[in-house]
Amino acid sequence: MRGPTEKELEGYTSPVYVYRAWCKGCGICVEFCPKNVLEIDDQNKCAVVRPQDCIKCKLCQLRCPDFAIIVDDGK
C-alpha cells in the first residue's frame, strides 16, 4: 500500500483526505467539485475547507491525477 499510512489517517474525521506530499496543486478537483468543498491554499496544494458540504460523489478522487485525494466510500 502506497500513499498515507494508517497512522496518518488515524483520527481523521472529514470525508475527504488530501495527501499533500503527492498533490501538485493543479486545481482540477477544486474546479469540478459540485459543492465547493476544496480550495487551493497558499502553498499551492489542495485543502479541504468545507468538509461539511461534501456529498461523497468522489469526483475529486476520480479526477485527481496524482492519487492524492481519497474519499470515504462508506464501506
Which parts of this chain interact with other proteins (CB under 8 A)? Answer: 1-3, 9, 12-13, 15, 17, 21-28, 31-32, 58-59, 61-68, 70-75
Q: How far is the CB of 68 from other proteins (least distance, A)?
A: 8
In the chain, the amino acid numbered 31 is: E
Q: Which of 34, 7, 25 is nearest to 69 (CA)?
A: 25
d(CA 17, CA 43): 17
Q: How far is the CB of 50 from other proteins (least distance, A)?
A: 17
Q: Which is nearer to other proteins, 46 or 50 (CB)?
A: 46
